[in-house]
Structure 1
Amino acid sequence: MYLTTVRTSRTDDPRDAWHSGWWPVKSLLWVFLMVIPFFIPSSFIQIYGEIARFGAGLFLIIQLISILNFVYWWNESWLSDKNIRRCRVPIVSVSAFSIVTSIAVMVLMYIWFAPRPSCSLNIFFITWTLILIIIMTIISLKPEVNAGLLTSGLMGLYLVFLCWSAIMSEPISETCNTRHRQTGKGDWLTIVSFLIAFGAIVMSTFSTGIDSKAFSFKTVEEESEDKVPYGYGFFHFVFAMGAMYFAMLFVGWNLHQTTQEWSIDVGWASTWVKIVNEWLAAALYIWTMVGPFILKDRDFSSH
């Protein structure tokens, strides 16, 4: 789909109909692609696994940029001249909620995931997350930066979520985690949790796929009526990377170890992927604030 729709720019292009329609043909193609992997040699699947590991990492980066773009869009929308007066209370409320929730969740993580001094790795994960949030908040409140508490609050909440998710992905044998986790048994809680996670990832993939403007390095021009609403090629590229991300979740990012039945995204590989993604999110957010002062010759206003 990516190869057949990339660079589609107008709705009168035949590829627009292929992207938006042709569902009977696509349904048959989908069935074919669901069956054919069972006849492909395992060695090829192993090669695809290596490619998928890279693609899944790329998907996380794309998703991160999209989330960061959304956070800035939200902040700028509420601080615009026409919304600033009626959005003062919502800005303060959402910012306060984000900060308070982040602090509360981190306290719970210390209680649930670091009950003993010997749980040094979890203590490091949680403490470093707290330090990153403090650094981001201080920089965002600098008069020269003036990013505001809304962006730092939302990004802080995102970092806490990634830290929580990373610790919950630690192997079942990890004794420092006192919370209920996937045990490999197909109970209803595991199934419901999987379905919710599945739906959330699909929705985030879809929203990222149609957010091609966040990855444009050109000044946005006024769009004509017959211009496609978003980049079709980019949309399918993101879904291809998202499919690779799903593949890595099912095997816990480990291609050489059999995962437990009914478990998803469990293992040290999954834990470290999320932790690194958290650190990358903090670094990227900090860079968006300090970058204009370091690269003074670059114009950041059009992005």
Structure 2
Amino acid sequence: MAAGKLKHLCRLACCADVMRCCEFSPGVAKWAYLTCFGLTAIATWILRDYSSNGLSYISGLSSCKSEATTENQDRCYGKGAVLRLSFGNFLFFTVHFLALLGVTRKGDWRMWLHSGCWPLQLLGWAALLGMTFALPAHVFVVWAQIARVLSGFFLILQILILLEFVYILNEWLLDRVDQWWAKSGLVVLSIGCYVIVIGIVVVTYIFYAPHGSCSLNIFFITFTLILAVILTIFSVTKWRPEAAGLLTSGCMLAYMAYLLWSALTTEPAPSTCIRSLGTGANGIKVMGFVLAIAATLYATMNSSMASHTFSLSPDPESLAETNPDDSDRLPYRLDFFHLAYMLASAYLAMLFTGWSLNNVPGYFSVDDGWASVWVKMASQWMCALLYGWTLIAPLLLRNRQF
């Protein structure tokens, strides 16, 4: 009864004549959530870098006034804003995740919470974000540690989404390999990915390992190169899965090379192992900032792609196609979709604070510091491990279907 009244209240808020503007299809709702999440990411960046004067009036951030220098005070205010906005996002998507657990059909009455009632949803979202600024600072000491753990799961999710996309792309092109454009696409994309890998390895050796004493950087770069050789060799052997090949390896290695470059560029300066990039350094910093945010948004947008990977039931889309009675099934798991945004909310906190939480990166910086370096390299090794497993799993587990 209470649920029915709440749903009726939501519909009244939309008004009968504009009802269709308040209810979206599941596909359109994905874009709506992405847009709003992207806007909160931009707001987080603005509050972190440009709003210290206004944040100084918030009682929950009063402890920042005890910092010794103005620069440290500004960074303290920025960190406080980042943690609060990320926590507000996390609460919003947690409510949706819990409310939508097990929803698989369009006819489920809980669907309105995901794709409808947008005026009230946006109002509630804004209220949660604002409410976090009234909470005491010790709440966010705990939240920061929780966000660290959850961010690790988000990084794994990011890799799994990329893996699935790469295999889907490769299979799609292989199915059309008798057509010239598909064959050309396979060749061009594969070569392009390996050119990127080689280019990044060469550039990082030049700018981040200028002399023999830079042993850690040399290890990072050389180990990346070794992994690239091993994965490439295995992807062209007769034991490889049919869906794997040079394109899948090239794409994954390009991502691993990007993680290497990103890790090395976030090492604290000054350092004798970082050769000056001159005026190009600011451009690289801005590009890294944009790429980091774009990668986060891409992963959250495509989280529904990987939902059936974690499900014991068949893929909803394929099930609907093979069984007309299941046409009412949703194209993706709503609870998994909001779970991905929960993890992304935690990851944004780490992205904008550099994981260590002791200091906050400067303008247009994300993931700066040694903690970020090790997180990115660990992500690269996890990426190699997961991709390597997809190559050898069919060989080791012959009775399983992949």
Distance 1:92 1:117, change over 3 A: same
Q: Which residue of 1 aligns with 2:236?
A: 141
Q: Residue in 2 aligned with 1:155?
A: 252
Question: What letter is aligned with 2:347?
Answer: Y
8 Å CA contact 1:53–1:253 kept in 2: the answer is: yes
Q: Is the 8 A contact 2:164 2:306 kept in 1?
A: no
Matched, 1:97 2:192: yes
Match of 1:167 among 260, 264, 289: 264
The correspondence of residues 16-55 of structure 1 with structure 2, limited to 5 A, is: 16-55=111-150
Counterpart-to-counterpart distance in 1, 2:221 and 2:288: 24
Q: 2:224 aligns with which of 129, 132, 139?
A: 129
Does residue 283 of structure 1 match 2:385?
yes
Question: Residue by residue, what CA displacement relative to the aligned partner does 1:63-102 show, whole Å, maximum 9, x if unpaired?
Answer: 111111111111111112xx12112221111111111221
1:123-160 Cα distance to aligned partner (Å, 9 max, x none): 11111000001000111111121521111111111110
Q: Where in structure 2 are the equivalents of 1:207-246 lying within 5 Å? A: 207-220=302-315, 222-223=319-320, 224-246=326-348
**Deviation for aligned residue 1:12:** 1.4
The AA in structure 2 aligned to 1:258 is: N
Is contact 1:209-1:236 (8 Å) kept? no
Residues 196/103 of structure 1: CA separation in 2 closer, same or farther (3 Å cut): closer
Q: Indicate conservation of the 8 Å contact 2:262/2:288, yes or no.
A: no
Match of 2:45 in 1: none
Among the aligned pairs, what percent are the same residue?
38
Match of 2:79 in 1: none
Corresponding residue number in structure 1 for 2:10? none
Q: Which residue of 2 aligns with 1:120?
A: 215
> Which range is displaced more, 68-77 or 141-150?
141-150
Specify the code of the residue in structure 2 equivalent to 1:85.
D
Q: Distance in 1 between matches of 2:220 and 2:126?
A: 43
Which protein shows a greater Rg? Answer: 2
Amino acid at match of 1:276: A
Corresponding residue for residue 15 of structure 1: 110
Cα distance between partner residues in 1 of 2:311 and 2:198: 35
Question: In 2 relative to 1, CA 179–37 (structure 1 residues): closer, same or farther, beyond 3 Å?
Answer: farther
SS of equivalent to 1:211 = helix
Structure 1 stretch 172-181 or stretch 137-146: which is displaced more? 172-181
1:177 match: 274
1:218 Cα offset (Å): 4.0
Paired residue secondary structure (2:251): helix
Aligned length: 293
In structure 2, the partner of 1:106 is 201
Matched, 1:84 2:177: yes
Deviation at 1:267, TM superposition (A): 0.6
Unmatched runs of 5 consecutive residues or more in structure 1? none
Q: Is the Cα–Cα contact under 8 Å of residues 168 and 181 in structure 1 kept in the other structure?
A: no
Partner Cα separation in structure 2 for residue 180 and residue 232 of structure 1 = 45
Map of 1:248 onto structure 2 = 350
Structure 2, unmatched stretches of 5+, are 1-95, 321-325
Distance in 2 (CA, whole Å) between partners of 1:291 and 1:138 is 16
In the TM superposition, residue 252 of structure 1 has moved relative to its aligned partner by: 0.9
Tell me by how many angstroms 1:278 deviates: 0.3
CA RMSD of aligned residues (A): 2.2
Which has the bigger relative contact order, CA under 8 A and spacing at least 6? 1
Distance in 2, matches of 1:179 and 1:30, equals 44
CA distance 1:48–1:300, shift in 2 (3 Å): same
CA distance in 2, matches of 1:135, 1:215: 28
Describe the shift of the 1:105–1:174 C-alpha distance in structure 2 as closer, same or farther (beyond 3 A).
same
Aligned pair in 2 of structure 1 residues 103, 191: CA closer, same or farther (>3 Å)? closer
Q: Is the alpha carbon distance of 1:167 and 1:33 closer, same or farther for their aligned partners in structure 2, counting shifts above 3 Å? A: same
Structure 2 counterpart of 1:243, one-letter code:
S
- Post-superposition Cα deviations, 1:26-59, rounded to whole Å, max 9, x if no partner, equal 1111221111112212221111111111100000
Question: Cα distance 1:277–1:116, how it changes in 2: closer, same or farther (>3 A)?
Answer: same
Q: Does the C-alpha gap of structure 1 residues 285 and 197 become closer, same or farther in structure 2, counting only changes over 3 Å? A: closer
Please say if 1:202 is aligned against 2:297: yes
Which amino acid in the other structure matches residue 238 of structure 1? A
Distance 1:77 1:179, change over 3 A: farther
